[in-house]
Chains A and B, each alone.
Chain A
Amino acid sequence: MTIDRHATHPATTEHHEEIVQFVFRSAASSGLLDRARALLDAAPRELAESFEQAVRTSGLAS
């Protein structure tokens, strides 16, 4: 899975804030799941379980 792009939308006139949209593209595995799991290595068990539940139900792992 690869992350495809992000979009930046500066405010139209005063440029006081920046909104970024995170878009995740799932064409092929890019190691994102592995990196995410590594990030959760030292995290509490409940958080890692919640993540794995999302992975199971989303089709991300296939």
Chain B
Amino acid sequence: MPHKIVVTLHGIRTRGQWQKQITPYLARHGLIPYHLDYGFFGLVSFLVPWARASRVQWLRGELRDLMDRTGAKRVSLIAHSFGTWLALEVLEAENGNIRFDRVVLTGSIVRRDFPWGATLMRRRWIQALRNERATGDWVVRAAELFSRLAGPIAARAGASGALGFNTACPGVHDRSIDGGHSEVLNIANYDKWARFIAYPRLPDDHLRRVRMLVQQIRALAAQRLGVDADLVRANIFVPSANALRMIPGAWDNMTWAPEHDIELELDHGSTGRAFTDGTPFSIRRLGASWTAGVLPGPEQAKLNPRLQWVLSLPIGRIVTQDDFTKARDVVGVLNVDGLDSVPPLLQTPGDPTLKTLVFTLWASTEKIRESLALADTGEPLHDD
């Protein structure tokens, strides 16, 4: 999983002192900062259409250049005030040619009806958003008022930095504080923003807990399946950039390095099916090789050749609905798998003992779900 590039973008009437302050927090989570500075941009300039347009063009050029030089398919972004407006103008103007990974808006003046459902969910121009707003931010309210009064010459601005978006959808995370336009740039939040952007890479607190539970689930599975624990492994796949990928380090006994980079389509194999259906699946090898229908060739080539079986447990809120128990809001899949041979119990899928084991392992993923859900929004582990 490559290290992420984080573009930071300041607002008007400032040169973005916070951009320098946030660097160590980004570095701590393995992120690469790239601070952009378009100079001091005054309020009068903001009111002039061609001045705004020239900054949009500048940012398009900067981002294209950055992505060309680094080979990055997406960059993440932290923006404040006018920087939020610039970034989203570029996103719409580029019509999918420039895509963002995970975005933090602070003191946002982006219009409140921004079509997140289309850009974020359907077109995947953005992977996830954290809108950090301050309820007492009069600057963004003034921007919305001006936008309404000035008509066509005004920026399409809104008070999303104070009032939030009215087009929220899954993947849009809203956080608010009491305070004003600059107070939202609070150093106490920098670590959370870095955590949010780094996901699915897990910060230490979540990784420690998740790895411990993964180890315990693997050990219990090996014991109850009657298999040598050395032949049983465990890992977690989560959605990232339109594919399911392993969370680095959130695994146990995964010593075949090529597997760490496997990318699965969202409905491929038992992992993909567990993710889309919200029910556990298992897959076992019956002959010399897996069928070509399970994984595309390049991904199949990464598999440990000794792999014989996989038990895929969807990580989500386990609920009982319409008489069936399923995982909702699935955030990932825990795979327990094994090498060399298929345990006899796994060869009898109707056996109540196996079903009890599958259910037990599945329900035991709850605290993993909790950690992944928190990490996905940038929040640290709560004290138990």
A: which residues have CB within 8 A of B?
Answer: 1, 3-4, 6, 8, 11-27, 32, 35-36, 39-40, 43-44, 46-47, 49-51, 53-55, 57-60
Partner of A46, one of B216, B270, B279, B281: B216
Given contacts A46-B213, A53-B366, A59-B320, contact A16 B288 (CB under 8 A): yes
- Minimal beta-carbon separation of A46 from chain B (angstroms): 6
Partner of B356, one of A11, A15, A39, A46: A39
B213 x A17 contact (CB < 8 A) = no
Complex Cα–Cα for A59 and B317 (A): 11
Complex Cα–Cα for A49 and B212 (A): 13
B285 x A26 contact (CB < 8 A) = no
12 A–B contacts from the bound complex (CB under 8 Å)? A1-B325, A17-B283, A17-B286, A20-B281, A24-B359, A25-B323, A26-B320, A26-B325, A27-B323, A36-B360, A47-B220, A58-B363
Q: Per-residue 0/1 for B270-295: is the Cβ within 8 Å of any A Cβ (1 yes, 0 no)?
A: 10010001011111111111110110
Given contacts A3-B352, A25-B323, A60-B325, contact A20 B282 (CB under 8 A): yes
Given contacts A32-B359, A57-B317, contact A24 B366 (CB under 8 A): no
Number of residue pairs A-B, CB distance < 8 angstroms: 135
B285 x A17 contact (CB < 8 A) = yes
Chain B residues closer than 8 Å to A44, beta-carbon distance: 216
Interface members, chain B 247-285 (any A CB < 8 Å) = 270, 273, 277, 279-285
Chain B residues closer than 8 Å to A12, beta-carbon distance: 293
Complex Cα–Cα for A19 and B283 (A): 4
A8 x B286 contact (CB < 8 A) = no
Complex Cα–Cα for A62 and B14 (A): 57
Chain A residues closer than 8 Å to B270, beta-carbon distance: 19
Q: Which chain A residue lies CB-closest to B285? A: A17
B349 x A6 contact (CB < 8 A) = yes
B363 x A54 contact (CB < 8 A) = yes
Chain A residues closer than 8 Å to B287, beta-carbon distance: 14-16
A11 x B293 contact (CB < 8 A) = yes
Complex Cα–Cα for A59 and B324 (A): 11
Chain A residues closer than 8 Å to B291, beta-carbon distance: 11, 13-14, 16-17
A50 x B320 contact (CB < 8 A) = no
Complex Cα–Cα for A13 and B286 (A): 13
Complex Cα–Cα for A12 and B355 (A): 25
- Minimal beta-carbon separation of A42 from chain B (angstroms): 9
A18 x B323 contact (CB < 8 A) = no
User: Which of B273, B294, B356, B360 has the most chain A CB atoms closer than 10 A to its own CB?
Assistant: B360
Partner of A25, one of B286, B319, B324, B365: B324
A36 x B317 contact (CB < 8 A) = no
A55 x B363 contact (CB < 8 A) = yes
Q: Which chain B residue lies CB-closest to A35? A: B356
A46 x B323 contact (CB < 8 A) = no
Q: Name 19 extra pairs, CB < 8 A, besides A50-B368, A60-B320.
A: A3-B359, A11-B291, A13-B291, A16-B286, A16-B291, A17-B283, A21-B273, A21-B277, A21-B280, A22-B349, A23-B279, A24-B355, A25-B324, A26-B325, A36-B363, A40-B220, A43-B220, A50-B364, A54-B364
Chain B residues closer than 8 Å to A43, beta-carbon distance: 216, 220
Chain A residues closer than 8 Å to B363, beta-carbon distance: 36, 50-51, 54-55, 58, 60
Complex Cα–Cα for A22 and B320 (A): 15
Complex Cα–Cα for A38 and B209 (A): 24
A36 x B216 contact (CB < 8 A) = no
Given contacts A46-B212, A51-B360, contact A22 B220 (CB under 8 A): no
Chain B residues closer than 8 Å to A3, beta-carbon distance: 352, 355, 359
Given contacts A47-B217, A47-B364, A50-B366, contact A18 B325 (CB under 8 A): no
Residue B350 lies at the interface, judged by CB distance under 8 Å to chain A: yes
Residue B244 lies at the interface, judged by CB distance under 8 Å to chain A: no
Chain A residues closer than 8 Å to B352, beta-carbon distance: 3
Residue B224 lies at the interface, judged by CB distance under 8 Å to chain A: yes
Complex Cα–Cα for A20 and B351 (A): 12
Q: Which chain B residue lies CB-closest to A36? A: B360
